[in-house]
Amino acid sequence: MTVTSVQLVNGSTTLDLFSGDITIATLDKTFPEVRSVKAPNPDTQGMWDTTRLYGACTVTLDLQLYNTPTELTRQLTMFMLPRIRPYLLVEDTEWPTTRRLNLRTEDYGGPITGGVDHLYREAQASWMVPSGVWESNQLSTVTVLADTGASSGLIFPVTFPVTWAATTAAGSASIATSSTADMYPLLRMYGPCTGPQATLESTGQTIKFSESLVLSAGQYIEVDVQARTAKLD
């Protein structure tokens, strides 16, 4: 197991932590806290326990800054602003793809030391990881052709020419993943359509919009399952 690349990324700004001027002494990601959900069992001994999800964790970097430590410190602290949510990208020889952690700043320490024997300046930076888990940096994308609902027939008088909506029998798809944690898809439902909906076949759970929602060709509704939001275009 060998780490081959570590980067901090915020939009178009990147800091390479595997450069000749920065050495990583340790990279420590704690195990995420377990979000305990329990209550006393009023009828028997013990507790009701329906715990099933992780909470947040922390990640800490111990760094050694060479050559231009003051400038490197300035660059590093730009990823410590409370308002931003940078990513820590890590590549490892045992991982099939780059993995990432979404960060929120927690703590920073950069003791100043002197003396001719000091070749570098030490720094320690830590962030909270709200999701608690590693994510793949590469999205898995699947395009699913839509089914159309059954028609109730023609209404007379008929206006010609008569146009029938295109459909397909392959209105579902599966996504294979090696994930060990729950995943939350990002869905885009494209028009032209009226009242689009998506169903998880294994459970029957459905995200359904009312018939008043009419999407033209090229329009789409983006549903973020984790954030529980739906946005037009």
User: How crowded is residue 7: how many other Cβ atoms within 10 Å of its Cβ?
Assistant: 18
pLDDT in tens, 186-220: 999 999 989 999 988 888 889 999 999 999 999 99
Q: Which of 72-76, 138-142, 160-164, 166-170 has the lowest mean pLDDT?
A: 166-170
Rounded average pLDDT over 48-61: 94
Written as one string, the DSSP assignment of 25-80 is EEEEEPPPPB---EEE-SSSSSEEE----B--EEEEEEEEEESSHHHHHHHHHTT-
Q: How far apart are CA 146 and CA 159, in angstroms?
A: 26
> Is the link from the previous residue into 157 a cis peptide, with omega within 30 of 0?
yes
Helix (H/G/I), strand (E/B), else coil: 152: coil
**For residue 117, pLDDT beyond 80:** no
Token pair 């030490």 in the structure block, residue: 122
| Confidence bin at 116 (pLDDT 50/70/90) | very low
In this structure, the strands spanning 99-102 and 135-136 are antiparallel
Output DSSP code: residue 145.
Answer: P
**Under 8 Å CB-to-CB from 151, ≥6 apart: which residues?**
164, 165
